[in-house]
Structure formats: structure tokens, C-alpha cells
Amino acid sequence: MKRRLNVAVIGAGYWGPTLARTLRASRDWSLGAICDLDIDRARRAADAVGGATVVPDLEAVLSDPQIDAIAIATPASTHHAIAMAALDAGKHVLVEKPLADTQQHGEEMVGRAAERGLVLMADHTSCYTPAVLKMRELIAGGELGDILFIDSVRINFGLVQPDVDVFWDLAPHDLSIMDFILPGGLQATSVSAHGSDPLNTGKSCIGHLAMPLAGGAMAHVNVNWLSPTRTRRMVIGGTRHTLVWDDLNPQQRLTMYDRGADVASISRATAKDRREVAVSYRPGESRAPALEEREALGVVVSEFAAAIRESRASRTSGAAGLRVLSILDAAAGSLAAFGAPHVLPRTHSSAGVAA
């Protein structure tokens, strides 16, 4: 049997205890330690999983030769420093979203992991849900045809974060899903961002992202901390079918629609005729693909272990985290320019290595 890998969870705040619980239950991992500057908080997290070593000092974790990897669950502003120290200590690293607080920091992390031959994985948990895995499968299998648009909404009453705006807080979920399900990843050519701060918090509480994609499709993300209704919904329209993901509907998270514009008839028309042709629509049926229910975070930690054992990039590698960061960074640039499009370099979608 393969031995269990030893992991330490860094951070015992919101996400750390959930990570600790999942790692403790995994057949791939042994929970070596929980590290937090607040030792009482670390003890509470340890008690919740039946006990674990607690330490307040990161260096004590990184100098322990028995620890193979760390899982970072701390504020984004600390990810770079912790990850770089861990990689320099020869530890594999799992980082909760977003990968880092700036594009430059993310690039340094990906580069260091590649230099050291270590796995750097972004904890894009949503990508490992059965629904999103099925979306990826259907798109890769050509069920949707060519992608025409992606429209995503993530809105709710939410806590106004002290250190980030609504784009950095909520959009990474949707951007990571888009990057995961699209062949070749999320390849935006530009980003236009519009934000609003009706509460005068000093940061955007409502936001819209518009992203033309390299293949000619358009992606849109709507994020909002102030909505009285909670929505987690994505619509992916293709030339053959349209797929709707409703994460808040456990009875039918995915619906496939065989209806939409008859793109084929328009494509066959000449350039002159296209301006005059009447768009026809096909009124087809809908169906709900069968899904296996399982905990996504359990799949995340299993993938992390598999990537280490097989010396390969994970499905949500550092490079995937970097692509999400490139969109967030471009959004910040567009916001500063009052919504003007921020053009992305053509190489952004493959920036860094698949660490």
C-alpha cells in the first residue's frame, strides 16, 4: 500500500477547520499539524477533528522532515510569503482561492514550484463538484458544440470583506469554473469591469465583468454582496445545446437544452445575406444529466495526493490559478480606467508552467 502523506493545515479560521476535517477523513493523508498564530483557535480546530498537533510557528512546520505538504487557508495577502517559504523548504502546496493577492506574486509562486519540482495546486473546490465535472465532460465531448457565450451570476447578502472587493471575493469561483470547463482554459482577450459602492465602503460591492474570449464567445460574470436573493447560476450556450448549472437546486443542478438559434443556417449564408437573414430558432427538449453526489473537497485532497505521487500537475494547477489571477488583475485595471477594456496579452492563458 502507498503510505499516507503527511500534511499541515496553515490557518484555523473559516476554511482551515473544513480542510482539516477533510484531510483527517482522507485515505491519502495524515493530518500532521494545524498551525495558527492564535493557538486557542488552532486547538479548537484540532479538537473538532479528534485531536491533532497544534503549533503557532510556521517555521516549526516547515522544518519538520515528516511533513510532505501544507494546505494554506489564510488571507490572500499572506499566500505568497507562506507558499514561497514552504516551496523553499521542499513542501508541496495547496492554496485556497485566490492563488495570491497579485499577478506578480502568483507568477513567482508558480515559477518557484517549477524550479523545485513541487506540486502547487489551487484549491478551486467548485471545479471538483459532480456538476462541474459533468459540465467539463460534456463540453470536451462536443455535446454543446462551439461555445457562443457564458453568463454567470453569483449574488447574495454577503459580508463586506475588509481587504478585498466583491470581484476578488466572489468572482474567483466562477472564473475558476470557466477555466476548468473550457478546453484550453479561460482565454479572455480583454476584460471590462464595472463596479458600484452604494454603501461607501471604499470598494466595489456590486460588480460586472465582460470578457470576449479567444474563440469569439463572450463571457459575463455578475457578482453582488447586496442581493436579498441568493443565486449561483451559470448558462453556457453552444451551437448544439445550452447547459444551465443551478448550484442551489440539489434536485436538478444541471439542465441541457436542445434549443437555441440555428447558427448553422446563418453560417452558411454569404456575408451580404447574413445582414438580411431572419434568425431561426429550434424549439427542442430539455434533459437533466445524472450526477453522482459526493463531497468536492474530498476529491480536491485526493487529486492533490495523486499529483504528488504521480509527479504531475493537478487539474487545478498553479497555472490555472494564475489564469484566474490574470482576469482579476485586468479587472482592477479596467476599474481604475472607469470600465475601459483592459487588453490581456495573447500568452496570458498559458502564463507560467503547469506547476
Tell me if 214 sits within 8 A of 187, measured CB to CB: yes
> What are 290-332's pLDDT values in tens digits?
898 889 999 999 999 999 999 999 999 999 999 999 999 999 9
Q: How confident is the model at residue 307, as a pLDDT?
A: 98
Cell of 267: 453560417
> What are 89-115's pLDDT values in tens digits?
999 999 999 999 999 999 999 999 999
CA-based torsion, 77, 78, 79, 83: positive or negative? positive
Task: Quickly state the pLDDT bin for 352 (edges 50, 70, 90).
Answer: very low
- pLDDT > 70 fraction of the chain, expressed in percent and rounded: 90
Nearest to 291 by CA among 177, 135, 178: 135
**Residue 278 identity:** A
- 3-state secondary structure string, the chain? CCCCEEEEEECCCCCHHHHHHHHHHCCCEEEEEEECCCHHHHHHHHHHCCCCCEECCHHHHHCCCCCCEEEECCCHHHHHHHHHHHHHCCCEEEEECCCCCCHHHHHHHHHHHHHHCCCEEEECHHHHCHHHHHHHHHHHCCCCCCEEEEEEEEEEECCCCCCCCHHHHHHHHHHHHHHHHCCCCCCECEEEEEEECCCCCCCCCEEEEEEEECCCCEEEEEEECEEEEEEEEEEEEECCCEEEEECCCCCCCEEEECCEECHHHHHHCCHHHHCCCCCCEECCCEECCCCCCCCHHHHHHHHHHHHHHCCCCCCCEHHHHHHHHHHHHHHHHHHHCCCCCEECCCCHHHCCCCC
Other beta carbons within 10 angstroms of residue 26's beta carbon come to 20
Q: How confident is the model at residue 347, as a pLDDT?
A: 54
CA distance 247 to 292: 14
**Residue 122 identity:** A
Nearest to 323 by CA among 100, 25, 23, 14: 100
State how far the alpha carbon of 118 is from the alpha carbons of 73, 77, 84, 269, 324, in Å.
19, 22, 11, 52, 21
Residue 130, pLDDT above cutoff 90? yes
Q: How confident is the model at residue 158, as a pLDDT?
A: 82
How much is the pTM?
0.90
> What are 159-195's pLDDT values in tens digits?
888 888 999 999 999 999 999 999 999 999 999 999 9
> What are 185-235's pLDDT values in tens digits?
999 999 999 999 999 999 999 999 999 998 899 999 999 999 999 999 999
Q: How confident is the model at residue 350, as a pLDDT?
A: 40
